[in-house]
Amino acid sequence: MQPIDPEDTRKPNVQIAASIRAAILTGELAPGVRLQTQNDLADFFGVSRMTVASALRTLRDEGFLTSHGSGGSYVRDQAALPVPAGEDHPLAGVATFLFEMGHLKNVPRAGWLLLGVPSPESIAEHSFRVGMTGIVLAALEGSADVGRTAALCIFHDGHETRIGDVPSVGRAYVTTAIPEAVTAHQTASMPDAAAKALQDLTAEYEANETLEARLAHDADKIETLLQAATYRAQGHETGPWSDTSITALRTDTGRQLAQAITAADPHGWFSAFAASYHELRASTRARQRGQES
């Protein structure tokens, strides 16, 4: 936890709540952990016990903490957001979550901005092709669960609705909330089964221990490799992005697919169709005339 900043103009109880909240979101204070006593916290922050009590009350109202009688305050196992007044639909939290995921359509992949790409792909666009790539990798691998791999791929950047896409150059300077903590808060108002399914996906992807998680990580890098090839064809120098993506691959299947991608034309899928357009049209019309007769 960070101490109070004397130059910060916010009230002390607001600063204390922000410090503890940040410690929860970054994983410094893990789910289920008991906080120090109010007296100890008051000594740490250099304020009165009443000021600490006010900060803890704010965090309880936000759903970050829970109290066990006179036994102190504990970090909640799953963050719980306040329910809007009059809201009684059991799937209201799911609807809110899905609206939030739609925000990924508006968040650009920040790394491409460093290349001067004026309108880079969004995180949602990236995640879609990561999912498609994951399906292919899992099928090629043979022993992987295709559906699980696809789910890991699609949701792997879901936490970026809250923290944005921090490019590699920024990670040396910026510390963000850990993805597991963000997902816990994103899913706080959802039914337990749905919340657990999404939290498990984030935990599995971040742990990167299962075959499906390793394939999902490779799919993320391969999608970057694919997009780099597209931007290179548009005149941008994407060599470092391609090299980094290839180096990060951890499965033989991913490396083999990367080799095929580096040798392919990003627009090659359209070339054969374009070259035979008139013949295809003529053939289609001939079939239609035959059916009509």
What pLDDT, on the 0 to 100 scale, is given for residue 292?
73
40 vs 6, 37, 47, 181, CA distance in Å?
19, 5, 10, 25
Q: Domain ranges in the chain?
A: 12-75, 98-272
The pLDDT-based confidence of 70 (bands split at 50, 70, 90) is low
The pLDDT-based confidence of 82 (bands split at 50, 70, 90) is low
Check if the beta carbon of residue 154 is closer than 8 Å to that of residue 127. yes
Q: What is the mean pLDDT of residues 272-285?
A: 77
Pick the CATH number of 12-75 from 3.40.50.2300, 3.50.50.60, 3.40.640.10, 1.10.10.10: 1.10.10.10
Share of the chain above pLDDT 90, in %: 65
Q: What is the mean pLDDT of residues 200-213?
A: 97
CA–CA distance, 218 with 133 (Å, rounded to integer): 9
Share of the chain above pLDDT 70, in %: 95
The pLDDT-based confidence of 55 (bands split at 50, 70, 90) is very high
Residue 142 has pLDDT above 90, yes or no: yes
> What's at 293, amino acid-wise?
S
Residue 86 has pLDDT above 80, yes or no: no
Largest CA distance in the chain: 92
pLDDT digits (tens, 9 = 90+) for 254-272: 999 999 999 998 988 887 7
What pLDDT, on the 0 to 100 scale, is given for residue 1?
87
Helix/strand/coil for 186: helix
What pLDDT, on the 0 to 100 scale, is given for residue 81?
54
Q: What is the mean pLDDT of residues 145-161?
A: 98
98-272 belongs to CATH 1.10.3210.10: yes
Residue 21 has pLDDT above 80, yes or no: yes
CA–CA distance, 131 with 154 (Å, rounded to integer): 5
Lowest pLDDT segment from 60-64, 238-242, 255-259: 60-64
Helix/strand/coil for 202: helix
Q: Which residue has the higher pLDDT, 90 or 227?
A: 227
CA–CA distance, 34 with 156 (Å, rounded to integer): 30
Highest-scoring range by mean pLDDT, 26-30, 172-176, 210-214? 210-214
The pLDDT-based confidence of 135 (bands split at 50, 70, 90) is very high
What pLDDT, on the 0 to 100 scale, is given for residue 42?
94
**Residue 231 C-beta-side C-alpha neighbours within 13 Å:** 25
pLDDT digits (tens, 9 = 90+) for 188-202: 889 899 999 999 999
H helices of the chain, where? 12-25, 38-45, 49-62, 92-102, 123-141, 146-155, 160-163, 168-171, 179-186, 192-207, 211-233, 239-247, 252-262, 268-275, 277-292
Q: CA 91 from chain center: how many Å?
A: 22
Per DSSP, 74 falls in state E
What pLDDT, on the 0 to 100 scale, is given for residue 61?
84
Per DSSP, 93 falls in state H
Check if the beta carbon of residue 103 is closer than 8 Å to that of residue 186. no
Buried b (16+ CB within 10 A) or exposed e, 50-60: ebbebbbebbe
CA–CA distance, 190 with 168 (Å, rounded to integer): 32
The token duo for 153 is 């791929």
What pLDDT, on the 0 to 100 scale, is given for residue 122?
97
Sign of the CA dihedral 239, 240, 243, 245?
negative
Q: What is the mean pLDDT of residues 115-124?
A: 94
Residue 234 has pLDDT above 70, yes or no: yes
